Amino acid sequence: MVEIHKTTCCYCGVGCGVLVKKNRDGRISVEGDPEHPSSKGMLCSKGMNLHYTVMDTSDRLLYPQMRWNRQAALQRVTWDTALERAAAVFKTFIDKYGPDSVGFYASGQCLTEEYYVVNKLIKGFIGSNNLDTNSRLCMSSAVVGYKMALGEDSVPCSYEDIELADCFLVAGANPAWNHPIVFRRMEAHKAANPRVKFIVVDPRRTDTARMADLHLQVKPGTDVVLLNAIAKGLISRGYIDEHFIKNHTEGFDSFRVKVAERDMREAAKICGISLHDIHQAVEYIGKSKGFISMWAMGFNQSVIGVNKNLALLNLHLITGHIGKPGSGPFSLTGQPNAMGGREVGGLSNLLPAHRNLADPQHRQEVADFWGVPSLNPKPGYTATEMFQALKDGRMKAIWIMCTNPLVSLPNVQLVEEALKAAKFVVVQDVSNRSDTLAFADLVLPAAAWGEKTGTMTNSERRVSYLNKFNEPVGEALPDSEIIVKFAHKMGFGHAFNYPHSAAIYDEHVYLTKGTNVDMSGLSHERLRTQGTLQWPVPAPQSEGTPRLFTDGQFFTTSRKAQIKTVPDDNQSEALSDDLPLVLTTGRIRDQWHTMTKTGRVNKLTQHLPKAFLEIHPADATERGIKESNIVVIQNGRGEVQVPAKITTDIRQGVVFLPMHWGKILQSNAARANNLTSDLIDPLSKEPDFKFAAVQVTKFSKPKEKIIVIGAGAAAYKFVTAHRQHNLTDEVHVFSKEPFAFYNRVMLPDYISGAMSWDKLLKMQDDERALVHLYEGISIEQIDRTKKTVTDSQGDTHSYDRLIIATGSRSALPRDYDTSLAGVFTMRTRQDADGLTNYLNQLVPTSAPRHVVVVGGGLLGLELAASLGEIGVKSTVIHRGSRLMNRQLDGTASSLLHEELTDRGIDVFYNDEVKYITGQQRVEGLRLTSGRVLTCDAVILTIGTTPNVEIARKSGLDVQRGIVVNAYLQTSDPAVFAIGEVAEFEGQLFGITAAAEEQAEALCAYLNGDVQSYYRPTLSMNILKMEGLGLCSLGMTEIPANGAGADFEEVIFSDKQKRFYKKCIIQGDKLVGAILFGDKSEFTEYKALIQHQTELSDKRLKLLRSGKSAPALKGKVVCSCNNVGDSNIREAIVAGCHDFQSLCQQTGAGTGCGSCKLEVKALLEEALVKA
C-alpha cells in the first residue's frame, strides 16, 4: 500500500505543490502535484530530488548537545538539561543587562507557526524586538518598497497573471535557475504566444536573458537611472494612464519633473547600454496590454535596494498596470516562507499582520491580544546589526534557528568575530554541516521538512499546508515545540499552552482579523482538506483573493498609491585603481543557500561542483588569466581563491561568484562573503551583496623546489599533472630502481610477451626533460628540521616540499625459507626479467615447465594466465575457500574457477605452503594439507607491505601507512605522501587509481585549488586476462549487519554462458557491482558509484540486461538524467538539429526542464559553427 501526502516544496518562494509517496517499507518518492495551482504538477531539479534529502539522514543532528565552556567539547544532554541551561543563561543576561542583550536570528525556511511563537516570545514576553531573519538578506528592500508605495507589504498579482500578460520586465533575477517553475510558465506562455515580449535587466547573460527579446546588460548600480529613463520615455510618448494617475496615485508631478532632468542619451551612457535599447523597452512596455515586472536579489540586495524597488513600482503606477489581469509588480521571494514570516511580524521592526512597531495603537493591539501590558517600542537589531552588537558586547546571547550565518551574511569575518565574542550561542538546526555549529554552546536538533506540520506562504500570497509524513530522527523536535518548551522554562508557560501546531495557527490567523492581511477564514483543517488559498481570506466561506487593488484603492492613509521620486545615484563602495572590478554574487541552478540540503544530493552537486569566478575575456586577458586558472579575488575585507570561468556572458568590468560555498576543510577560500560589503540600505537594512569593489589576479605560486621520493604510478601522475600547471618549480625525482616510471601493473603481459618494455614506459623523453631524474638512487634520510634529504650516494638535497611516493614491496612469508633459486616475487622489472630468464634456462624435459603461484588475488591469477600463454603450466595455491574473496562474491568466484580450469590452471583452496623443497633451486613444495607438488619455480603474490621506514625514521606520524589529511599532507605541513604509502582516514589504497587521484589532488592543492581534495578512492578490480571480462566495483556483498540498512541486490545470471551481473543498491544509489562476462558497463557504473549519483528513473534502464544508458560525458548539463555537454554535442554532430528531438534523444531537458536553455545554447552554438 502506498501512502500519498500533499505538501509544499521547502526551497524557493515559488511554493510548488509536492506529492510524497511512501511505500510499505517507508521509502518515499516525490512528484509534482498536478492540482496545485502554483506549479501545476511541475517541479524543478531541486524539488524533484527532495526525497533524497529526507532519505539521507547521515548529517542529521540527533540529540541536544552542550559544552560547559568554550574550550570543552560538545556533550550529549537531555532536552530538559539543554533548555534549563538556555533559560538560566537568558534570564541571567536579561536581569543583568536588559532584554536587548539577547536575540533570535531565524530563517525564511521556518514554518509560519514557528515564526509566530518565537516572535511572540521575544517581543511579547522577553520584552525585546531582537528577532530578525535571513529574510532581511533577500526581501526587506521589497517589503519597504511595497509599504512606501502601496501602503503595505502586499504582492498585488498572482501566477495566473503570467498567462495573461504580453510584456515582462525581469530585473535583477534569473528565474530560469532560481525560480524555475515560474519560468517554465513564462516559457510556455511565450512559446504559445510569440508576440509576448521579454525584457531582462542584468549585467550577466543568464539563462533567463538568453530567452529575452531585449537584454539590457547594465552596469551594476545603474538600475534606477535605467528605470527613470524608461519612465521618462513612457511619459513623453504618452504611454501612461492619466486617469489612473489622477484618481489613484499621489506624487506624479514631482516625479515627472525629476525624471525629465536627465537626458536619455546620458542615461544610456551611465547604464552602459544603447539609447536604442532604452527606447525599445519603452515601446514594449508602453504598447503592452498586460505588463508584469519580476525582480529578486539583484534589486533587493543593494545599498539602494529600496530606491530600485520604488523606481520599478513607479512604472506600474504611471501606466496603471496594477490591480488588473495580466499586470502588476511581482517580487520573486527567495525563500519558501519569507512571506509567512512577514505576516507574523518576524522582523525586528514588524508586528503581526503587517502592523507597524512604530504605531502605538498597533503595539497595544498586539499586547492586549498576547496578554501583556505593553510592547517595547524600540526596533530590534536587524541581521547585520545583531552580529555587530554581539561583537561589541551590547548583545550577550543569540539563538540561531534554521540558518547558517557564517556563509550567508556579508563580511563573514565580522560574523566570526561576533560569534567568538558572544557569551552564549544556541544553534537550532537539522544538520551537522552548518558552519555555525563550531561556535555553539548549545546545539538543539530540529525536525526537518516532512517531520512536522504547518504552513507556508509563497510569492503569490498562497498559503499551503505541509503534511507530516515521517517521524523526526533521533530526539529531534519541531522548531515550534522547541520554542514552546523554552518559553515554559522561562516561566511563560501560561501563554504558550499549545496542544499542537494547529492551535498556534488558529491564534495567528485570529490576530489578522480585520486587517488587510486577514486570514481568519483559514485553519489547518481547511487547508488540509480544501487545498491552498491566497490571502486575504477573511471568512470561512471566502475563496481567497487572487489579485489586490482591483478597485484602485491602496493600503495607504489616503488610499492612493504613492509615486516616490528617488535619487538615481548608486551609494555602493567606490571602485578605484586598486579595486577596479565590481563583484556580484548569486545562486546557481541546482544548489540552495549554503548547501546543507542540496549538497547532500549528488545529482545536484554534479552540475557545478565547485565555486568559480565568471570573468569577461577582456578582463581575463588584461590579467593573463586563462580558462580554469586559479584566481585570487581580493579587497580590504578578505580574499577568495577559485578557478576562472571566462565568458562573454558577464559584462566587462564585472565578475560573478556563487554564494553557496562556506568552509572547505577549514579553508574559507571559496566563501564569497569574505568579500561582500556590510554596507546596507538605510531603510531596509538589506546588505549590498551585489556590489563589492575587488581586484582579480592570477594565482601565483612561489617558485619551490619539490623532491619526490619514488618513481611509480603516484610520482608519475604528480609530475605530469604538476607540469601542466607549473613550469617554474624545480622537480627532483629519486628512483631506487634503475628503471623509473613504468607500468608495473602490466608486468604479467611483459612476461608473456604481449607487451614490449617500451609499451610499459610511461614517461616520454620530452617529459623527462622537465624533471631532474635520479635513476638507481634512493633517499636514505630525511632531515625535516633542515628540510633536506640525503641520497644513497651521500649527497644532500634541500627541498621546499617533499613528496613521499615510495610505494610498497612484496610481502614475504615468515614461516618458510624463500632463499632458493626459483623463488620469485613480482613487483619490478628485475623480478619479471629474473623469472623469464630463469624459466628459459631450465633444461628441457618432456613435461611442461611448471610454476606454482602462491596467492589467488589479481596479480597471482594474471601471472598464471600469462604463463599459460607461453606454455608454462601453473598451479595456484590459495589460503581462502574461494578466489578473490575480497573482490568477488561466491557466484563470481565459482565462475572464475571454471574459467581457470578451462585454461588448464589448477587451483588448491584452503591450503598454504609449509615449505619449499630443493637443494640449490626449487624442486617442489609441501602444503599444510600434506599435498606435495613438484614444480620448477614459485611466485609469491601474497600481498604487499608499504615502504614507510624512511618516514617513520624521520618522525612523521606513521600507522600502517603514512598518515595524511585530505590534501595529502603528513604531520609535517611541508611533507606529503601519495600512493600505497599514504594512509587516509585509517585506510590504505593499494590501487593505481588511488595513486593517480591522490597525485592529482596534491597537484591541485599545491597550485592553489583548495576545493580539490582527496576523497577515498572507489575499490575497483579488473582481472586482466585475455578473453575474459571480469571486474568488480565497491561493495560486492551486502554486509552481514546490513539487513536493516536499506540494501538491495539486483542480479542477472546465465551460468551456462558465464554471464553474471550483480548490482548492490543502498538508498537508491549504486554502491557496488560485479560484472562477469561483459564489463562494458564498468565506466558508467564506476561514475555512478564514485559520485554516489541517485539512480531515480534511470534505475531500470541501468540495471536491466541489454543496452545500457549512455555514460555521462563532459560537464553535467542535465542533473535529472545525468547528461553532459559532450553527450549533447555528439548527438548534434550525429545530425540531431531539432531542439525537441535533441532533448528526447539525449534525455536532457526531459526531467524538470531547468537545463533546457543550456541545451538550446549548445545547439545554437553548434549550428552557428556548422
pLDDT tens column, 637-654: 999 999 999 999 999 999
- The answer to whether residues 120 and 191 belong to one domain is no
Span 319-349, pLDDT tens digits:
999 999 999 999 999 888 999 999 999 999 9
Q: Say if residue 599's pLDDT is above 80.
A: no
Residue range 1020-1035: average pLDDT? 90
- The answer to whether residues 128 and 149 belong to one domain is no
Q: What share of the chain is helix, strand, coil (3-state, %, to 5)?
A: 35, 20, 45
Q: What is the mean pLDDT of the chain?
A: 93
- The answer to whether residues 602 and 724 belong to one domain is no
Examine the fold and report which residue of 464, 498, 532 is the final residue of a domain before the chain moves on: 498
pLDDT band at 834, cuts 50/70/90?
Answer: very high
Residue range 797-826: average pLDDT? 95
- The answer to whether residues 660 and 804 belong to one domain is no
Q: Residue with C-alpha cell 517521524?
A: 471
Q: Say if residue 1122's pLDDT is above 80.
A: no
Helix/strand/coil (H, E, C) string of 97-137? HCHHHEEEEECCCCCHHHHHHHHHHHHHHHCCCCEEEHHHH
Helix/strand/coil (H, E, C) string of 384-451? HHHHHHHHHCCCCEEEEECCCHHHHCCCHHHHHHHHHHCCEEEEEECECCCHHHHHCCEEEEECCCCC
What confidence score (pLDDT) does residue 1103 get? Answer: 66
The span from the CA of 89 to the CA of 490, in Å, is: 10
Is residue 370 within 8 A of residue 120, CB to CB? The reply is yes
Neighbours of 352 (CB within 10 A): 27
What confidence score (pLDDT) does residue 366 get? Answer: 98
In a domain, 817, yes or no: no
Neighbours of 878 (CB within 10 A): 23
Q: What residue ranges in 61-101 does DSSP mark as E strands?
A: 65-66, 75-76
Looking at the structure of the chain, the number of domains it has is 7
Span 466-475, pLDDT tens digits:
999 999 999 9
The span from the CA of 871 to the CA of 738, in Å, is: 30
Which uninterrupted H or E stretch holds 739?
Answer: none
What confidence score (pLDDT) does residue 55 get? Answer: 86
In a domain, 828, yes or no: yes
- The answer to whether residues 238 and 147 belong to one domain is yes
Question: In the 8-state DSSP scheme, what is residue 741?
Answer: S
- The answer to whether residues 938 and 952 belong to one domain is no
Q: Say if residue 248's pLDDT is above 70.
A: yes
What confidence score (pLDDT) does residue 601 get? Answer: 77
In a domain, 1022, yes or no: no
- The answer to whether residues 668 and 764 belong to one domain is no
Q: Say if residue 1043's pLDDT is above 60.
A: no
Nearest to 85 by CA among 491, 490, 432: 490
Higher pLDDT, 844 or 498: 498
In a domain, 115, yes or no: yes
- The answer to whether residues 790 and 709 belong to one domain is yes
CATH number at residue 1129: 1.10.10.1100
Higher pLDDT, 759 or 859: 859
Statement: the pTM of the whole predicted model exceeds 0.85: yes
Helices 275-286, 305-319: crossing angle, 10 deg rounding = 50
What confidence score (pLDDT) does residue 602 get? Answer: 75
Higher pLDDT, 85 or 28: 85
Domain extent at residue 185: 141-331
CATH number at residue 998: 3.50.50.60
What confidence score (pLDDT) does residue 253 get? Answer: 97
CB-based contacts of 582, cutoff 8 Å, min separation 6: 203, 219, 220, 221, 575, 653, 654, 655, 691, 692, 693, 694
Span 517-542, pLDDT tens digits:
999 999 999 999 999 999 999 999 99
pLDDT band at 1102, cuts 50/70/90?
Answer: low
Q: Per mean pLDDT, which range of 218-227, 556-565, 1014-1023 is the poorest?
A: 1014-1023
What confidence score (pLDDT) does residue 605 get? Answer: 78
Residue range 259-281: average pLDDT? 98
Examine the fold and report which residue of 988, 1006, 1024 is the final residue of a domain before the chain moves on: 1006
The span from the CA of 1070 to the CA of 1034, in Å, is: 9
Q: Say if residue 1105's pLDDT is above 70.
A: no
Examine the fold and report which residue of 693, 717, 744 is the final residue of a domain before the chain moves on: 693
Span 704-744, pLDDT tens digits:
999 999 999 999 999 999 999 999 999 999 999 999 999 89
Count of residues making up the chain: 1170
CATH number at residue 490: 3.40.50.740
- The answer to whether residues 190 and 317 belong to one domain is yes
Neighbours of 1042 (CB within 10 A): 13
What confidence score (pLDDT) does residue 574 get? Answer: 96
Strand partners, 249: 561
Q: Per mean pLDDT, which range of 135-144, 180-189, 657-666, 830-839 is the poorest?
A: 657-666
Nearest to 385 by CA among 418, 344, 429: 418
pLDDT band at 1107, cuts 50/70/90?
Answer: low
Higher pLDDT, 1048 or 123: 123
CATH number at residue 586: 2.40.40.20
The span from the CA of 469 to the CA of 479, in Å, is: 17
Span 9-50, pLDDT tens digits:
999 999 999 999 998 888 889 999 999 999 999 999 888 988
What confidence score (pLDDT) does residue 329 get? Answer: 98
What confidence score (pLDDT) does residue 1042 get? Answer: 59
- The answer to whether residues 178 and 311 belong to one domain is yes
The span from the CA of 596 to the CA of 660, in Å, is: 10
Span 608-641, pLDDT tens digits:
888 899 999 999 999 999 999 999 999 999 999 9
The span from the CA of 652 to the CA of 1028, in Å, is: 57
Residue range 412-441: average pLDDT? 95
- The answer to whether residues 924 and 976 belong to one domain is no
In a domain, 576, yes or no: no
Q: Say if residue 1109's pLDDT is above 80.
A: no
pLDDT band at 661, cuts 50/70/90?
Answer: confident
Q: What percent of the chain has pLDDT over 70?
A: 98
In a domain, 293, yes or no: yes
Residue range 1084-1088: average pLDDT? 88
Q: Per mean pLDDT, which range of 506-510, 599-603, 1083-1087 is the poorest?
A: 599-603
Helix (H, G, I), strand (E, B) or coil at 3: strand
Q: Say if residue 117's pLDDT is above 60.
A: yes
Span 904-946, pLDDT tens digits:
999 999 999 999 999 989 999 999 999 999 999 999 999 999 9
- The answer to whether residues 302 and 154 belong to one domain is yes
Residue range 272-300: average pLDDT? 97
The span from the CA of 689 to the CA of 409, in Å, is: 9
In a domain, 1081, yes or no: no
What confidence score (pLDDT) does residue 511 get? Answer: 98
Which uninterrupted H or E stretch holds 224?
Answer: helix 223-236
Q: What percent of the chain has pLDDT over 90?
A: 80
Q: Per mean pLDDT, which range of 407-416, 520-529, 948-957, 1038-1047 is the poorest?
A: 1038-1047
Nearest to 132 by CA among 438, 387, 485, 478: 387
In a domain, 1167, yes or no: yes
